[in-house]
Amino acid sequence: MTPSNWENDRCRADLRDRQRQGLLLILAATVGIYAGLWAYGRDGDQTFAIPASDARKGPVTVEIAGAGADRAAGIYRLEDNTTLSELLTRIAGLDLDPRTPATELGRILRNGDAVRIDADRRLQVGRMAGATRLALGMPLNINTATREELAMIPGIGEKTARRIMELRRSSPGGIRKLEDLRALQGIKEKRLEKLRRYLTCEGPC
């Protein structure tokens, strides 16, 4: 075997290993989410937190997590235009820092938001981790996903993830439609169709 062939075989093996690791992360997130919901459902009369079967077609899906979340931790399905305050008032026994600004409590929650409550009862609203979103069947925003998150998606891997990041940086305003990915080496219509379930364009798209 020539050195170039050996290098190619090693690169392909590394890529398969990284994709397997990404799939294992998604699987672990899925198991953790549903195990938490099952355990939480056993401990109380909670009916508000239910698994999200397909967040793209239904209500807003939000995660509550953090050291201060206690039994409130889990995945919640909400109606459109639900505010953070409305969500928190439905959770009995959740004790927050009384200095939490009213403007923050009035925030309308978006699909894929993560409400993290720390040990000091302070909260912060961010976005769910990429592995959690993929485990819930929620696509990643191609303009904000990290290289590591993109590499977890089946059919992408490390090399294509780097090319997507380069395309994003070179495109004024970001990638405007998923069809722009066809400009990348190795992404044709058939592969693009498989990626549509994992990616979406938000913001400038």
Measured CA to CA in angstroms, residue 85 lies from 10, 69, 101, 105 at distances of 52, 15, 11, 5
Condensed to tens digits (0 to 9), the pLDDT of residues 146-173 reads 999 999 999 898 999 999 999 999 988 8
Condensed to tens digits (0 to 9), the pLDDT of residues 139-150 reads 999 999 999 999
As a whole number, mean pLDDT of residues 27-53 equals 43
Give the model's pLDDT for residue 51: 38
As a whole number, mean pLDDT of residues 33-56 equals 40
Q: Give the start-end residues of each E strand in the chain.
A: 60-65, 74-78, 113-117, 123-127, 140-141, 199-200
Is 35 exposed, middle or buried (CB count within 10 Å of its CB: 0-12, 13-18, 19+)?
Answer: exposed
Q: Which helix (H) or strand (E) holds 27?
A: helix 3-43
For helices 3-43 and 157-170, the axis angle rounded to 10 degrees is 90
Backbone φ and ψ for 116, nearest 5 degrees, come out as -110, 125
Kindly report whether the global pTM for this prediction surpasses the value 0.75. no
- Using pLDDT thresholds of 50, 70 and 90, give the confidence band for residue 53: very low
DSSP helix/strand/coil, 141: strand
As a whole number, mean pLDDT of residues 192-202 equals 90
Domains and CATH numbers, the chain: 60-132 (no CATH), 139-200 (1.10.150.320)
Measured CA to CA in angstroms, residue 138 lies from 10, 93, 124 at distances of 32, 30, 21
Condensed to tens digits (0 to 9), the pLDDT of residues 110-124 reads 999 999 999 999 999
DSSP helix/strand/coil, 61: strand
